[in-house]
């Protein structure tokens, strides 16, 4: 099962080279709010999840057209084999009743690929119900638990999984914005997403400079390589040896992706026995 989903769009370089490097034979998490790379994702990824755009709505203050989402957008992708699930429309700041109402508005012919969100400020009764009603269920950070990895967030996540394991559940759990080794490596999630690659892979001058230099060095003949701590000089050496900026970006993205995907979550049994 693919458990690492990289959020889109991932831009930088020419010809969507970073996106291709991130998605190929992996997982792509594409938002209704930013769908420009969705066909690329379906072409090269092993699995695709579609986000409803509620997170972008919260950040931008713009309204989301759920009718368009259900009637125009999803029908183009709902029967594709690679679609693992789409996130059912939700209100990040809503309560149990409001988000249950949004689930009831889900058209029945789309239900088989839908995944609801349990927001961390909501009740554990709703958590257990959703986790036994659906094939996939998402956990979203919200309310006073919005800051991932804060002490309050960690306590709530521990309590949530304690509750799920004590009560029993059947759903596969997806962590929204939780594709971070410090999260994925601690909780028994089945899969998770993040925009880590989208945000950091293109920042070759100011983010993970050692990774940039290694990406250039690895593709430059050793007898032509001069040790350096300057990413711009490293790229100049690569280009002088016949390489390109696109090669460097793709290699950087591949290194970062491998680091992210090296982390695996603990099993439910291991987590329960050690309380990671």
* Residue 226 pLDDT class (50, 70, 90 cuts): very high
Per-residue model confidence (pLDDT) at position 31:
95
Per-residue model confidence (pLDDT) at position 60:
54
Q: Which of 74, 57, 73, 164 shows the shortest CA–CA distance to 111?
A: 74
Architecture of domain 4-200+264-274: Alpha-Beta Barrel (3.20)
Domain segments of the chain as ranges: 4-200+264-274, 209-252
Q: Which of 89, 87, 3, 77 shows the shortest CA–CA distance to 41?
A: 77
More confident residue, 261 or 223: 261
Enter the tokens of residue 83: 């679609």
How many CB atoms lie under 10 A from the CB of residue 118? Answer: 27
Contact 101, 119 (CB under 8 A): no
Enter the tokens of residue 109: 């012919």
Q: Which of 203, 145, 159 shows the shortest CA–CA distance to 13?
A: 203
* Residue 118 pLDDT class (50, 70, 90 cuts): very high
pLDDT at 252 over 80: yes
Range scoring the smallest mean pLDDT among 50-59, 98-107, 190-199? 50-59
How far is C-alpha 249 from the geometric centre of its chain's CA atoms? Answer: 20
CA atoms of 236 and 229, how far apart (whole Å): 13
Measured CA distances, 156 to 125, 187, 200 (Å): 14, 12, 28
Per-residue model confidence (pLDDT) at position 265:
94
Polymer length in residues for the chain: 276
- DSSP states of 80-149: -TTEEEEEPP--TT--HHHHHHHHHTS-GGGGGGEE-EEETTS-HHHHHHHHHH-SEEEEE--GGG-STT
pLDDT per position as a tens digit, 2-45: 689 999 999 988 889 999 999 999 999 999 999 999 999 999 99
More confident residue, 114 or 57: 114
CA atoms of 108 and 125, how far apart (whole Å): 24
At residue 273, φ and ψ (nearest 5 deg) are -85, -25
More confident residue, 59 or 261: 261
**Preceding omega of 9 cis (within 30 degrees of 0):** yes
Enter the tokens of residue 113: 């690929």
Per-residue model confidence (pLDDT) at position 56:
64
pLDDT per position as a tens digit, 124-180: 999 999 999 999 999 999 999 999 999 999 999 999 999 999 999 999 999 999 999
CA atoms of 52 and 211, how far apart (whole Å): 33
């Amino acid at each position: 099962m693919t458990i690492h989903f990289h959020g889109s769009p991932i831009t930088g370089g020419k010809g969507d080279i970073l996106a291709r490097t991130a998605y190929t034979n992996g997982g792509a998490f594409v938002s209704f709010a930013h769908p420009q790379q969705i066909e690329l994702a379906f072409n090269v990824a092993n699995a695709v999840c579609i986000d409803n755009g509620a997170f972008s709505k919260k950040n931008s203050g713009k309204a989301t057209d759920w009718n368009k989402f259900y009637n125009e957008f999803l029908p183009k992708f709902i029967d594709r084999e690679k679609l693992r699930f789409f996130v059912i429309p939700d209100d990040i700041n809503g309560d149990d009743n409001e988000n249950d109402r949004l689930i009831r508005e889900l058209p029945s012919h789309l239900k088989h690929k839908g995944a609801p969100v349990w927001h961390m400020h909501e009740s554990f009764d709703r958590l257990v119900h959703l986790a036994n009603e659906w094939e996939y269920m998402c956990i979203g950070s919200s309310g006073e638990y919005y800051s991932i990895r804060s002490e309050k967030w960690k306590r709530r996540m521990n309590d949530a999984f304690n509750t799920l394991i004590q009560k029993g559940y059947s759903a596969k759990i997806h962590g929204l914005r939780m594709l971070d080794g410090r999260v994925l490596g601690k909780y028994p999630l089945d899969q998770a997403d993040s925009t880590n690659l989208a945000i950091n892979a293109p920042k070759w001058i100011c983010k993970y400079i050692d990774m940039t230099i290694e990406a250039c060095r690895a593709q430059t003949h050793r007898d032509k390589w001069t040790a350096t701590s300057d990413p711009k000089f490293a790229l100049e050496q690569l280009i002088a040896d016949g390489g390109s900026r696109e090669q460097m970006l793709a290699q950087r993205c591949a290194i970062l992706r491998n680091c992210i995907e090296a982390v695996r979550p603990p099993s439910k049994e291991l987590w329960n026995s050690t309380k990671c």
